[in-house]
Each structure stands twice: as structure tokens, then as C-alpha cells.
Amino acid sequence: MKLYCLSGHPTLPCNVLKFKSTTIMLDCGLDTTSVLQFLPLPLVHSPRLSKLPGWVSKDGTINLEKELKECAGRVFVDSQPEFCLPEKELLDLSTIDVILISNYHCMMALPYITEHTGFTGTVYATEPTLQIGRLLMEELVNFMERVPKAQSATCWKYKEIQRLLPGPLKDAVEVSTWKRCYSMQDVNSALSKVQLVGYSQKVELFGAVQVTPLSSGYSLGSSNWIIQSHYEKVSYVSGSSLLTTHPQPMDQSSLKNSDVLILTGLTQMPTANPDGMLGDFCSNLAMTIRAGGNVLVPCYSSGVIYDLLECLYQFIENANLGSTPFYFISPVANSSLEFSQIFAEWLCHNKQSKVYLPEPPFPHAELIQTNKLKHYPSIHGDFSSEFRQPCVVFTGHPSLRFGDVVHFMELWGKSSLNTIIFTEPDFSYLDALAPYQPLAMKCVYCPIDTRLNFHQVSKLLKEVQPLHVVCPEQYTQPPPAQSHRSDLMLELQPPPMPYRRCSVLGLPFRRRWERIQLLPELAKSLVPSEIKPGISVATVSAVLQSKDNKHTLQPVPKPPPLPPSKKRKRVVEEPPEVLAPKPLLSGAVPLEAFLAMLHKHGITEVKVEETTDGHILHLQAEDTLIQLEEDGTHIVCDDNEPLRTALRDLVLRFLMKL
């Protein structure tokens, strides 16, 4: 059993498991942190960005003025943003049988994997994961296509040039794999390969293994996966949460008795308490609005935004913010808000029960009805005529490199009354803000990450007790910025097996058993013999048939009768005789009793020699050796067949025939 690691990002994993002749991809996360190396894509012409100077090396030997621009002491690539793809050269992607998706954040690289690679397999995901994943992909494509850039920057990627560039461009990894965004055609083609599954639904793969999704408690439809055969079990835990938020709670008990547990997607903010961050978010938002400023919240169009809106629903009345408009701007804003209300069976029990009252599970429905929350596909059209300040705007993309958020950064960045509040943990807020410096607006960092922290995961692993744990190498050492914090790492016995991008791990357990079925007519012919009290054994002669990874023992076919011959033959041909199998022998030959038996039959001169495996008996008068071992008896006798046969018969008296 092997694990191929195609992504080095611990919360955006992409691994391939080879298990019992099946090749299974576990998630295909897209590392979008690479976009931080690029200039933002403004929706309207930005004089500031267009006047940025091009970069030339200090000695003047490298001139990349058309590709690289300098801004506030940093160098950025001036072209369409590109993403760091999972490794495609480590194994042939056309050999992948199935892809298992754990949540909608971990499927953003799916079109790169399934399209133009020869992939012919099936993708398994829950319905909310598919539908919200589709929205996130659609939004990403929309962000890119509405601000197209003609030029493409490639020269800076050459290794001999990249190493001479200023940081962090110089330190960017795997730049040769970076690619532009896929098209909507690729998205539709990739998602057409998805087969929907429900929690605890067992799916057979080629009769070899069974895969089952379990609720992971992190987001709508998010799953952990069990991959098992009759005698082996692998658990894949990715993006799980034990906190009480809107999704169904995590199913922990089904993870027990795993031979291997592959652990990814822990919290990116182990020291930040989500409840505390929500409190900071609300208080900073209220402070800014009361001072007459605007609040900008860069966020994804699904996920944490549901919890933010629910928190604000309870907060705005108490804080006297009832007249403040809240705007949610995204190409998929309407679909996202509606989907969250219709996936009732994927929600926690408290929200499920509201559906039967009937009430909407999420309070943002009431915010929309009372016109406190308004949603728009973009800043153009209705929004521009209805927009009033001070206000709160939720919009994407959290990287601040594309989407409507770029327009608001240019619009509000020069005033210290305004505040930008970062809630998504995927991007460094300092790197995100770098191309907008110098910036007057206030910046507040409230990362809300509900995934498991190290304390919670240690407790979980003690309860489910897997034999082996495999995890990204980042989890086996403290964070670089907090090297003294040994509590921010996994300390297990035996130690976890770490992986990094492009590593191939041999998982530390071997398959020992295989299940075989007996046909009823064969089972009926067996004659068991009791070898110990309560233990019976039967020999079987059969034909083993293996088909679709299922093994069956069938009776040995009888030879067909010969057809009657028209011509008379002198010799009658008889069918070949099928010999009965020799009986199997069971038991042990006791030394003292065997010596007494030899003496009784006139063999008295016996020299006994003890060996590591048993005893050697030297019959001196007969010049014969008998080796008595635990798993066999050997009689060495030269040219005396009657004696050998007699000795064999004496040995057989002590053994049971099956």
C-alpha cells in the first residue's frame, strides 16, 4: 500500500492511495496563495496601478519591466494571476480510478485533474459539496474572465532569472507548475463526472474496497472517508470540526479500529479561538460604523459568511446598527444564500428542526426580507444606484487580487475612518495588503477557523486509536514563528509518518488475509475432523475462481464422458482416472512413545541427538536416520525400502489423517 503526496499545503491536500489494485485520489485542493505574487485586477482603470515602475535588476543586466512591477518596496508579477497546481508528474493521472472529495474548498483543482489528463474515473462527493463547489469555481472563473489581461508573464519563471529576483518572488516554489484559471467549459465537464453520495452510504469499488463518507462537522456536506476491505481499514480525516456551528456534527465513532489514519486539514490558526474572533469582528465593525466609516469584509461566497451573518443578526439590534446597510456582492451571492436554506438534511439538528416549523434555518433570510442585507452579482447595475454609506460590504476574493474587493480597496483605502476585517485564514493579511500600500484604512485580523486544533485532534486520536497516523510534516514540528510551542504539534506514540509534496510513503501494514466464498454444493461435501476440543478441520479440493476481486471456491469439474464412437476400435479407451487427494497429516510424534514403539518392533540401538528444530534418531544397526521436527518427519534410509515403509507406518500411528 502506497501514498503519493501531490500537494504540500496541509489544508488543501491532494494525495493518491494505492490500495488493493485500486488507485484513489483523496481531495484535489488548489493552492491559491500563489496569487499573492501578482498585481490586483481592478474592475475599473486604476491610474495608481498603471503608473507603477517596472523592475530592473540593480546591475541592469535583467530587464523585466513588462512582466514585473515595483510597489511599496515589493515586486509583483503584472499578468493574469496563476495557481499552484498539485504535482502532475509523480504518477500517471489517467490511472486514477476514483477521486474522493471531503469538502468544497478541497475540490478547486478538480478541472486540472480530470480534464486533458486522460482521467476516465468517477468523482464521489456529497450534494452540498458539489453544488457549493460549483458556485466557488463559477465565481473564480467569473472574477478572471471579466478582467482579462492580454500579456502573459513567463520569463521571470526561468530558474536562472528567478533566483536573482527580490523576495518573496525568489522563494516562490514550483513556479513551473503554476497555471491560469480554467474555463467554465472545463468546470462543467469536470463536475459531470461527480457521483453524489450520502453520509454512511457504502460504495463498492471494483469489488476490492468499500468507501464510505462520514460527517466531518466543518462545512455543509463536508466528509471524512473510510476506505476498507474485509480485513484492512484506512480512515481519511480532512477538514473536521467539533464546534457547534451550522453543519451536522462530526461522526467520530466510525473512525475506530483503523490500521492507518491519514490526517489533514487542521486549523491554520491554532492559537485563535473562533468565538473570541467573532466577538472582535462584531465590536470592530460597530466601532467603525459609529465613527461614520465603512467596513470591508473580504470573504468566500460560502462557509464562514453564514456564521458571520447569523452573528450579526443577533448583534445589530443590540448595537443600534439596524439602519446600517449590509451588502453581499458576488456573482453567485443569490445562489449561495438560497442553497444554504435548502440543504436542511445536512445541517445540525437545531437548524433541521426549524425547517418543520416552518422557518428558514439561517436568519439571513429575515435580514433579506427586512432589506437589512442586500445581495448583488457585481458593483455594476443595481448596486451603484442603491449604494449608500456608511455600510458593511462582504465580497471576494479574500486574497485581494481579483473580484469586487479590489474596487473597494481603491475606493476606501485612503480614509482612516474605514476598516478592512480579515476573517478568512487562507492568506497572510500583510501579503494581501502589500500592493495597496501606503494604506490609510484600519486593518483588523480576526481569522475564524473552526477546524480541529492540536489539543482536539490529540484527544480524538486517543479515542479512535489508529495503529498508524500519516500527516503533513508541518504538523510534526512547532510553527516556525513559535518554535517554543511544543503544544502546537502532534506528539504521538508511535510517531506520525510525515509527508511533503512529491513524497511517496509505503504505509506500514501488509495485507495478510483475503475472504473466499465456498459454493453450497462444495460446502456440503466437506467432512470435518475434530483435532482439538471445539476445533474441527476439513480438507478441500476445489477450483479457485477470481472475478471482479471476489474469490470463490467451486467443485472440481468431472471429466466429460467420451462420446460413443461410430467406428469399432480394438482397444477401449477409458477416461483418465482422477486420483483421490492424499490425506493430510496432523499432530506431533512424541519422542518417548516413539522410542518405545521402535523397541517393541526390535529396533533397540537408537542414539538420540537434540537439535534446534527437534530431534535426530540414529538407528545404528540399521544405519538409518529419523529427523523428528515440529512441522515434518524425515526418514533417511539407503536401499532398504521395506525398512523405510515399516518406519513410515510406525510414524503414521501417532498422526491424525484428515
- Give the tens place of pLDDT for each residue, 50-70: 899 998 888 777 888 888 999
Say which CATH number the domain at 601 has: 3.30.310
Considering the domain architecture, whether residues 459 and 345 belong to the same structural domain is answered as no
In this prediction, residue 564 carries a pLDDT of 67
Considering the domain architecture, whether residues 325 and 369 belong to the same structural domain is answered as yes
Residue 301 gets which letter from DSSP?
A: S
pLDDT above 60: residue 576: no
pLDDT above 60: residue 574: no
Considering the domain architecture, whether residues 337 and 411 belong to the same structural domain is answered as yes
Domain carrying residue 314: 274-445
Considering the domain architecture, whether residues 100 and 194 belong to the same structural domain is answered as yes
pLDDT category at 358 given cuts 50, 70, 90 is: confident
Considering the domain architecture, whether residues 151 and 202 belong to the same structural domain is answered as yes
- Give the CA distances from residue 373 to residues 300, 323, 407, 586, in Å, rounded to whole numbers and listed in that order: 17, 11, 20, 81
The bridge status of strand 63-71 relative to strand 74-77 is antiparallel
Q: Is 320 left (phi over 0), alpha (psi -120 to 50) or beta?
A: left
The pTM of this model reads 0.84
In this prediction, residue 581 carries a pLDDT of 66
All three cell numbers of 82, joined, read: 496563476
Average pLDDT over residues 238-252: 89
Classify residue 233: in a domain, yes or no: yes
Classify residue 567: in a domain, yes or no: no
Considering the domain architecture, whether residues 284 and 171 belong to the same structural domain is answered as no
Q: How many independent structural domains does the chain possess? A: 3
Considering the domain architecture, whether residues 477 and 411 belong to the same structural domain is answered as no
Q: At which of 462, 484, 506 does a domain end?
A: 506
Considering the domain architecture, whether residues 483 and 388 belong to the same structural domain is answered as no
* pLDDT, tens only, 474-494: 999 988 888 888 888 888 888
Classify residue 34: in a domain, yes or no: yes
Q: Got the DSSP string for 56-75?
A: E-TTSS-EEEEEEEEETTEE
Contact (CB, 8 A) for 241 and 218: yes
**Which of 72, 135, 81, 75 minimizes the C-alpha distance to 108?**
135
Classify residue 62: in a domain, yes or no: yes
In this prediction, residue 575 carries a pLDDT of 53
C-alpha span between 250 and 307 (Å, rounded): 18
Considering the domain architecture, whether residues 130 and 192 belong to the same structural domain is answered as yes
Classify residue 377: in a domain, yes or no: yes
The dihedral through the CA atoms of 343, 349, 350, 352 has a sign that is: positive
C-alpha span between 379 and 408 (Å, rounded): 10
Considering the domain architecture, whether residues 214 and 289 belong to the same structural domain is answered as no
Considering the domain architecture, whether residues 280 and 428 belong to the same structural domain is answered as yes
Say which CATH number the domain at 399 has: 3.40.50.10890
Q: At which of 404, 430, 445 does a domain end?
A: 445
∠ at Cα 568 (564, 569), nearest 5°?
100
Say which CATH number the domain at 250 has: 3.60.15.10
Considering the domain architecture, whether residues 263 and 293 belong to the same structural domain is answered as no
C-alpha span between 556 and 564 (Å, rounded): 24
Classify residue 569: in a domain, yes or no: no
